[in-house]
Amino acid sequence: MAGIKKYDRTELLDRAIELFRRQGFNGTSTAELADELGVNRKSMYAEFGSKQGLFEAALERYDAEHLSRVLAPVEADGAGLDAIRGAFATYASASEGWARGRGCLLCNTAVERAALDPGSGRFVAAYFERINSAFRNALVNGQRSGELDHRADLEELAHFFTTSLIGVAACIRAEAPPEQLRAACKVATAVLDSHRPAATA
């Protein structure tokens, strides 16, 4: 029957995500997208409107699926300081695995597109805020449970961990030496130890 779609939108987005992760927005042509997605340009434009529309849909799915899996332990209601350590450990491991050279699509977009394109910029701003809120959540819980000194500046720490994690993600994309990233993650999480509650006499 004419007009029935012969593709799955979610599958198309997942394929687009991986192509954009490898090549970036500017490095990916519409011809490459159509070939990777396995549809013709007419179908691609009918579904997403434009290359930009497809890119923004890919960013939205990446945030909802890929980033959510990474941040879930830190965003959880009961997250504590171990969740922060775990997030950095996950990124340190990624520097030697499949993500090496690919990085995080939203982090890559922050470097490539945020300052040039308002559409991409709003996804990047939300990405920064989501990571910051996740860390703040774990820090608040850590302070309530007594893991963290009551005098610790949680906003300052959340900003520090956000910037550190995004920096590590950018370095994974750039294929920085894994030992360099493991060391950076170790130093970043050591900040938690320096904010333990002071011992009482």
pTM of the model: 0.90
pLDDT tens digits, 104-131: 999 999 999 887 888 889 999 999 999 9
| Calpha distance 6→199 (Å, rounded) | 65
Are 159 and 133 a contacting pair, CB within 8 Å? no
Cβ atoms < 10 Å from Cβ of 73: 18
Give the chain's mean pLDDT.
92
Domain 62-193, what architecture?
Answer: Orthogonal Bundle (1.10)
Name the one residue in this structure whose structure tokens are 């890929």: 66
Alpha helices in 62-149 (DSSP H): 68-75, 81-94, 105-112, 118-144
pLDDT tens digits, 24-52: 999 999 999 999 999 888 989 989 999 99
- Domains of the chain, by residue range, sit at 62-193
| Calpha distance 29→31 (Å, rounded) | 5
